[in-house]
Structure 1
Amino acid sequence: MNRSFSEMRAKVDRGEAVVLTAREVGEILDGGDGLTLEDVDVVTCATRAVMSGTYAVLSFPVAPPGSFRRAIGVWLNGVPATVGPCPNERLGVLDLIVFGTAESIDDPRYGGGHLFRDLVEGEEVRAEVETDGGSCLEVDLKLADIPTARLFGTRHAFRNYSAFVNPGEERIATIFHATTFDPCWRGASVSGCGRMNPLENDPLLETVGVGTRILINGAEGFVLGRGTRSSPDRPNLSGYADMHGMDPEYMGGFATSAGPECVTSWAVPVPVISDRILNSLAPADRSIPLPVMDVVGRKEIGRANYGDVWEGTDLEVSFDPGGCKRCTACHPEAICPTGAIGFVDWKPILDRRRCFNCGLCATSCAGDVFSARLGSLRFAGREVPIVVRQSDRLRAERLAEELKGRILDGSFRMTEMTERISP
């Protein structure tokens, strides 16, 4: 049985549609109940993770016309920007591309992802401009001063990603860990939101395609097409959204031992227009394969599954400041990849809006301030504890709930794809 997209959207517009999140669908299926096309019309899915393929296009004035001919170098809070593609000769306007993984010249733990969040939070940032005439300009500005600010993804929302371990005998600096990676199989880094991921719920891309309206970091945007490095087994998407409507809690920077990375979130509606999609909804995490890779050779050395990551584990890190042992130096504070841990009056604090729930603090605290069950990967006869997560399932579930609410109250209007993407 099939239903058309226009029929589905008309049902939503009349307020008659049943909209469920992927988590809610999963709970129904886990409880042993089945679903029919009469039970659900739209499923909202989401993912939040470190997504390297993120960049921003910014355009804004920095000086009166005629002040300089061209800019040859620009830094925003020390983060280098690529000038162009339009030179804007003598207009005093900058057109810039800023990569989410670009590293500040002032702070190696601050990058493009941190900059994007600071802008969306309304923080003032410093723009330093070097001109071809040898002059230098400095301007303080906020996102409200930047008329064009769009965030793009070249490869986002991988249907499933990989876990990484270090089987060697030396510590390794890598983007897949916030600190250098312990050797000898002593811990695993994982990424991917499992059954919440949009492409797990529409694996054949029957409803998600070019022109599908989505949320990126809480702002409305659109799918542009296939992402780079996409493959039939591991598809991903490219898309964009306007930064002016984003929610800072869904985005940010993530410091790793090999440089800063960028956190991005997607939420996607999946209209349940066929039995095939219905049967694909919210697959059990344990049924979704998770390749385990050697972080050095980047070769697969085994297979676990997302049940190891998300079933029976804690989505949120628990925080008990009374468990602090007053160490001379707080290791969790020093290595927190989002800078969410600090101290006030010698007492630890945790900024929940910045916390990524990666769990690294729980695996490194000498006291009992931070705790979380992170699970272990089981593969090739081994069991390796998970020590850091580069995906935030808790926020993914919240974002899917937010998208559900917007669909139901009419503030988010689903769009039919204009072209199908080959998986």
Structure 2
Amino acid sequence: MERTVEEICEKISKREAVVMTAHEICRLVMKGEDIKLEDVDVVTTGTRAIMSGTYAVMSFPIEAPRQFTRAKKIFLNGVPAFSGPCPNERLGILDLMVFGTSHSNLRPDYGAGHLFREMVQGKEIEVSVITDENDTFTSSITLDEMPFARLFGTRHCFKNYSAFVNCSSKAVNTIFHATGFNPDLSGATVSGCGEINPVKNDPLLETIGIGTRFLMNGSEGFVIGSGTRSSAARPNLTGFADMHDMDPQLMGGFATSAGPECIVSWAIPIPVTSQVVLDAIKTTDAGIPLPVMDVDCRKPIGQADYGNVWHDVDLAVMFKPSACRQCPTCEAEEKCPMDAIYWNNGKLVLDRYLCFNCGLCSTLCPAGVFTARLGSIKANMKCCDAESYREVPIVLRQSDRKRALKMAEDLKNKVIDGSFRIGQMAERLK
């Protein structure tokens, strides 16, 4: 039995559709229940992670001390922007792009991800301009004053990303760790939300296509194609959404040992149109491959699964400030990639609004102020030409499954109450 998206949408409009999250389906499967096609109509999914291939396009008028021909260089809070694609000669309007990997020339741990979040928070942004005439001036603007501001993803929502380990005998600075990646297989970092990831739940892209409506950072947007480096085995997506409607809690900047990166969140509803789609939805974390990569040479050395990452672990870091020993240097505070740990009037604070639940603090604090079971990567790994079974503890997560679960739940409620409308794609992705 197969169903069309139109048939499912009609059931939604009549309030007859069964809408569940991917997590709910997988929990039923693990309990031994046999989920059939007639049991569910729509499954909601979500992922929140550091996502490469993020950029913003903006256009806004700028107050200048005198008329200028074009802006040659532009900086937003010190983050470089690229002028164009429209020249806007003598109009006093800036059209620009900001790459998610760009870093501030003023603060080394501040990047485009931080900038995007502060814009969505409504904070005033400093705009510095160097014109074709080599005049320099600064102004300020808020997102509300920008007529056009959209966030794009060119390589988002990988069905299954990778776990990283360091087989070498030296520390490695990399975007895949918040600190120098310690040598000799002493720890692993991971990314990917496993069974609730959107593309994992529709790996053949039967229902996700060009024109599919989804939520990026809480704002309605559209899928516009396959992402860069997308493949049949590891598909990913391209999409965009308006920044004006985004939720700052779902985005931000994440400091790595190779510079700040950009956090982005996606939530997509999957109409359950066929048995193929349902079978993918029913695949739990333990059935999703997780390639293990050597971060030093960037080569695959083994394969684990997402059960290693998300089964029997803590999704959130537990915080017990009374256990603090007042260490001369608080490593957890110093190395938190989100700056979510700080002191206030002599008291240690964990800002849950900022916290990404990466778990790094739990591996650094000797007193147990921060604790979390992060799991371990278990696989046969070929390191230094010798293959053996290894169990490497996870020391950092670059995906926040706790908030991704909430996003899927929120989207489920929106589909049920009609505030989010599922639509038919314009064309299948190739």
Contact 1:66/1:91 (CA < 8 Å) preserved in 2? no
Q: In the alignment, which of 410, 416, 426 is matched to residue 408 of structure 1?
A: 416
Deviation at 1:339, TM superposition (A): 1.0
Contact 1:66/1:90 (CA < 8 Å) preserved in 2? no
**Which ranges in structure 2 are unaligned for 5 or more consecutive residues?**
381-388
| Aligned equivalents of 1:385, 1:269: Cα separation in 2 | 33
Alignment of structure 1 residues 276-295 onto 2, 5 Å: 276-295=276-295
| Aligned equivalents of 2:64, 2:375: Cα separation in 1 | 57
Worse overlay, 275-284 or 253-262: 275-284
Per-residue CA deviations over 1:387-410 (Å, capped at 9, x if unaligned) read: 000011111101001111111111
TM-score by length of 2: 0.97
**Which ranges in structure 1 are unaligned for 5 or more consecutive residues?**
none
- Report whether the alignment pairs 1:383 with 2:391: yes
Alignment of structure 1 residues 4-403 onto 2, 5 Å: 4-63=4-63, 67-380=67-380, 381-403=389-411
Q: Which amino acid aligns with 1:9?
A: C
| Aligned equivalents of 1:329, 1:347: Cα separation in 2 | 14
Contact 2:65/2:137 (CA < 8 Å) preserved in 1? no
| Aligned equivalents of 1:193, 1:119: Cα separation in 2 | 26
Contact 1:331/1:365 (CA < 8 Å) preserved in 2? yes
| Aligned equivalents of 1:175, 1:38: Cα separation in 2 | 44
Deviation at 1:372, TM superposition (A): 0.2
| Aligned equivalents of 2:106, 2:71: Cα separation in 1 | 21
Contact 1:358/1:390 (CA < 8 Å) preserved in 2? yes
Worse overlay, 157-166 or 342-351: 342-351
Contact 1:200/1:282 (CA < 8 Å) preserved in 2? no
Q: 1:204 to 1:416 in 2, by over 3 A?
A: same
Contact 1:201/1:281 (CA < 8 Å) preserved in 2? yes
Per-residue CA deviations over 1:172-195 (Å, capped at 9, x if unaligned) read: 100000000000100001001000
Q: How many residues align?
A: 422
Worse overlay, 275-284 or 15-24: 275-284
Q: Which amino acid aligns with 1:51?
A: M
Contact 1:66/1:92 (CA < 8 Å) preserved in 2? no
Give the secondary structure class of the aligned counterpart of 2:280. coil
The RMSD of aligned alpha carbons is 1.0
| Aligned equivalents of 2:156, 2:194: Cα separation in 1 | 14
Q: Which amino acid aligns with 1:286?
A: A
Give the secondary structure class of the aligned counterpart of 1:38. helix
Contact 2:152/2:238 (CA < 8 Å) preserved in 1? yes
| Aligned equivalents of 2:371, 2:346: Cα separation in 1 | 20
TM-score by length of 1: 0.98
Give the secondary structure class of the aligned counterpart of 1:280. helix
Q: Which amino acid aligns with 1:136?
A: T
| Aligned equivalents of 1:309, 1:176: Cα separation in 2 | 16
Corresponding residue number in structure 1 for 2:386: none
Give the secondary structure class of the aligned counterpart of 2:97. strand
Per-residue CA deviations over 1:289-335 (Å, capped at 9, x if unaligned) read: 11100101110111111000000000011111111110111111111
Contact 2:214/2:223 (CA < 8 Å) preserved in 1? yes
Corresponding residue number in structure 2 for 1:420: 428
Q: Which amino acid aligns with 2:366?
A: A
Q: Which amino acid aligns with 1:5?
A: V
Per-residue CA deviations over 1:150-200 (Å, capped at 9, x if unaligned) read: 000000000000010001111110000000000010000100100001111
Per-residue CA deviations over 1:68-99 (Å, capped at 9, x if unaligned) read: 11100110010000011111110000001001
Per-residue CA deviations over 1:233-272 (Å, capped at 9, x if unaligned) read: 1000000000001001110000000011000010011001
Contact 2:64/2:137 (CA < 8 Å) preserved in 1? no
| Aligned equivalents of 1:63, 1:90: Cα separation in 2 | 12
| Aligned equivalents of 1:159, 1:326: Cα separation in 2 | 42
> Runs of 4+ in structure 1 displaced over 4 angstroms?
none
| Aligned equivalents of 2:276, 2:70: Cα separation in 1 | 55
| Aligned equivalents of 1:363, 1:25: Cα separation in 2 | 32
Deviation at 1:415, TM superposition (A): 1.1
Aligned residues with identical type, % of pairs: 57
